[in-house]
Amino acid sequence: MKRNYKFIISYDGTRFYGWERQPNKEMTIQGKIESVLTRMTNSENEPVNLIGAGRTDAGVHARATCANAFLDTDLTEEEIKNYMNKYLPEDISVNEVKACSDRFHARYNALGKTYRYTCWCGNSKPVFDRKYVTILDSKPDVEKMRKAAEFLVGTHDFKSFCGNSKMKKSTVRCVDTINIEESGNYIRIYFHGNGFLQNMVRILTGTLLEVGYGSIPVDSVKEILSACDRQKAGPTAPPQGLCMMKVDY
């Protein structure tokens, strides 16, 4: 009899085409995990379907994302975790496995998500962090970025910050906090909200950096938001600086 299991997962997205399973592309997070679970349960005739809390882009990382799947297995939670970690590649880790209610859905039940975008600006090179930061040519004005971020906090139509031009569903989202922290050569931007559109965090970051460099005036962020036009916002920041930190339930 199948039971629903909840997984807490970390991964280095550097060499993957993102979370979502894709035709003719073996290197996806969802695809790799589904393959291992299908083999574990001997269910090749009915492959396991893994439901993720969010669909990260190619090259984006996760420290603690969540997923769930229905499995027909006699293995304990610890045995499932051990099996998965034994056969998954070294850049995917299953940190927790828990049996849960059949009604639990990793995406639909999520109340909020925290993303972190990390930048580096300095005269040296972040050799050991190079896969997880975006290297800036010069230091932006962080105070300007913070002032601009204030206009983005709240419930708004974020169509200007959506990478999917064919999006037919609502582009209204609530971003309740944007915190920008400096520590040495690092600038870390934390975003928390009830959900994010395709490329949204990276476009928000790219826009805030343009404000920090003076290419976009602080007050113009209000106009960009109300324009509902992707062409008005800043560039999409590179993927490697982005990491999904936590999902709230």
Report domain extents, the chain: 3-100, 112-248
pLDDT in tens, 104-161: 999 999 999 999 999 999 999 999 999 999 999 999 999 999 999 999 999 999 999 9
**248 is a catalytic site residue:** no
pLDDT in tens, 95-109: 999 999 999 999 999
CATH topology of domain 3-100: Alpha-Beta Plaits (3.30.70)
With bands split at pLDDT 50, 70 and 90, how would you rate the model's confidence at 26? Answer: confident
pLDDT on residue 68: 98
With bands split at pLDDT 50, 70 and 90, how would you rate the model's confidence at 166? Answer: confident
Comparing 3-100 with 112-248, is the CATH topology the same?
Answer: yes
CATH topology of domain 112-248: Alpha-Beta Plaits (3.30.70)
Q: What is the 3-state secondary structure (H, E, C) of the chain?
A: CCEEEEEEEEECCCCCCCCCCECCECCCHHHHHHHHHHHHCCCCCCCCCCEECCCCCCCCEEEEEEEEEEECCCCCHHHHHHHHHHHCCCCEEEEEEEEECCCCCCCCCCCEEEEEEEEECCCCCCHHHCCCCEECCCCCCHHHHHHHHHHHCEEEECHHHCCCCCCCCCCEEEEEEEEEEEECCEEEEEEEECCCCCCHHHHHHHHHHHHHCCCCCCCHHHHHHHHCCHHHCCCCCCHHHEEEEEEEC
Give percent above pLDDT 90 in the chain: 94
pTM (two decimals): 0.94
Out of 57, 102, 129, 248, the active site residue is 57
